[in-house]
Amino acid sequence: MRSRIAGPREWPTLLLVVLVSAGMALAYPAFRTAANLTTVGQNAAFIGIMACGQSLVVLSAGLDLSVGSVLALSGCATAEALQRGIAWPVAALIGLMAGALAGGVNGALITYRRLPPILTTLATLLLFRYGTHILTGARNYGPFPEAFNTIGNGWTPLFLLLIVTALCTLMTLRTRFGRQVIAIGGNEQAVRLSGVDVDRIKRRVYTLSGLCAALGGLIVMAFNNNTQSNVGQGYELDVIAACVVGGIRITGGEGSLPGAALGALLIALLRDALILTGRPTEQYGLFTGAVILLAAGLERWRARQQERARRVNG
């Protein structure tokens, strides 16, 4: 099994993005304004960047529930560095390193201690979140330098999403590491028997997931011009939803990074649609849940079609 740049798994998501965008553009002129489209791009960017990291984890048959907490941890680390007078590029690098380190901790616990990914990252979700809360005293950081805030404003977030998606896509298609990630999700035991250091690959995957969550944290804090330890609560659900809706098979081994980015864009569009139609924000979860169920049903249909094809060809 291998990842594809575009294929049938991504078509339903792409179609939904086009239909929702066209419907909103026709029904609500406010949707077409530059300010609104920029906001949609900003929301899609941080979810999509985190989804790229999560996709690598899911492709390897893992799961990272701690990305929202890593976002908060890295954001607070960056903010603390800024408050101490450190230049913003160095402060941003500190935040990215904090996220990568947190992801590395997840990978180490899963591989060295043989702990289940879902339980491990559920535990670190709480540890990272409340550890940050205690260390910072729930402090509200901000405002930040204008030069730093450019990271989260205008079209910069969407540009970063395109770069991250392109790099991760090329990695899965053109590098041995990327092919091994997908192979592990397809059949881990066979990969182990072929002599590949599966545990090392998994540690790298979780480190990359933490790094992507940290970059998402930089975008969120720069956009809001403030941050604190409770930022990013529930984002892990949006990120996983973006992966599933984008055609990443939740059991690993099949899917594409552009699909995850499209899933993030769809989620951002649905959120914007709720706002423009004046619906309560509480209904957002209903729409997201419905889309996830639709994606699950589509995945089940694909599995049946593949099984039938194997029987016919076999």
Can you read off the two tokens belonging to residue 205?
A: 């995957």
Residues shown for the chain: 314
Q: 232: exposed, middle or buried (C-beta count within 10 Å: 0-12, 13-18, 19+)?
A: buried
In this predicted structure, the answer to whether residue 133 has a pLDDT above a threshold of 80 is: yes
State how far the Cα of 232 lies from the Cα of 215, in Å rounded to an integer. Answer: 13
The 10s digit of each residue's pLDDT in 224-236 is 999 999 999 989 9
Span 57-79, mean pLDDT? 98
CA distances from 127 to 69, 96, 122, 179 (A): 8, 18, 9, 32
**CA-closest candidate to residue 70, choices 145, 121, 19:** 121
Q: Are 180 and 191 in contact (CB under 8 A)?
A: yes
Quick one: which H or E segment has residue 55? helix 34-59
**CA-closest candidate to residue 257, choices 139, 154, 173:** 173
Residue 32 carries which DSSP code? G
Q: What's the mean per-residue pLDDT of the chain?
A: 92
At 47, give phi and psi (nearest 5°).
-70, -45
The residue behind tokens 């914007």 is 272
In this predicted structure, the answer to whether residue 7 has a pLDDT above a threshold of 60 is: no
**CA-closest candidate to residue 54, choices 266, 246, 299, 272:** 246
Predicted confidence at residue 314, as pLDDT, reads 65
Predicted confidence at residue 6, as pLDDT, reads 43
| Cα torsion angle, 156, 159, 163, 168, sign | positive
- DSSP letters for 235-296: HHHHHHHHHHHTT--TTSS---HHHHHHHHHHHHHHHHHHHHTT--GGGHHHHHHHHHHHHH
The 10s digit of each residue's pLDDT in 249-307 is 988 998 889 999 999 999 999 889 988 988 887 777 787 788 778 777 877 887 787 78
11-305 has CATH 1.10.260.40 classification: no
Confidence of residue 139 (pLDDT cuts 50, 70, 90): very high
In this predicted structure, the answer to whether residue 170 has a pLDDT above a threshold of 90 is: yes
State how far the Cα of 208 lies from the Cα of 202, in Å rounded to an integer. Answer: 10
Residue 31 carries which DSSP code? G
Span 60-89, mean pLDDT? 97
In this predicted structure, the answer to whether residue 30 has a pLDDT above a threshold of 80 is: yes
Can you read off the two tokens belonging to residue 13?
A: 């998501």
Q: Are 157 and 50 in contact (CB under 8 A)?
A: no
- Give 201's contacts (C-beta < 8 A, 6+ positions apart): 60, 177, 180, 181, 184
The 10s digit of each residue's pLDDT in 95-128 is 999 999 999 999 999 999 999 999 999 999 999 9
Predicted confidence at residue 61, as pLDDT, reads 96
| Cα torsion angle, 57, 220, 77, 88, sign | positive
**pTM for this model (two decimals):** 0.93
In this predicted structure, the answer to whether residue 5 has a pLDDT above a threshold of 60 is: no
In this predicted structure, the answer to whether residue 1 has a pLDDT above a threshold of 50 is: no
Sketch the domain layout of the chain as residue ranges.
11-305
State how far the Cα of 232 lies from the Cα of 72, in Å rounded to an integer. Answer: 6
Predicted confidence at residue 8, as pLDDT, reads 65
Residue percentage of the chain with pLDDT more than 90: 77
Q: Are 66 and 179 in contact (CB under 8 A)?
A: no
Amino acid at 55: S
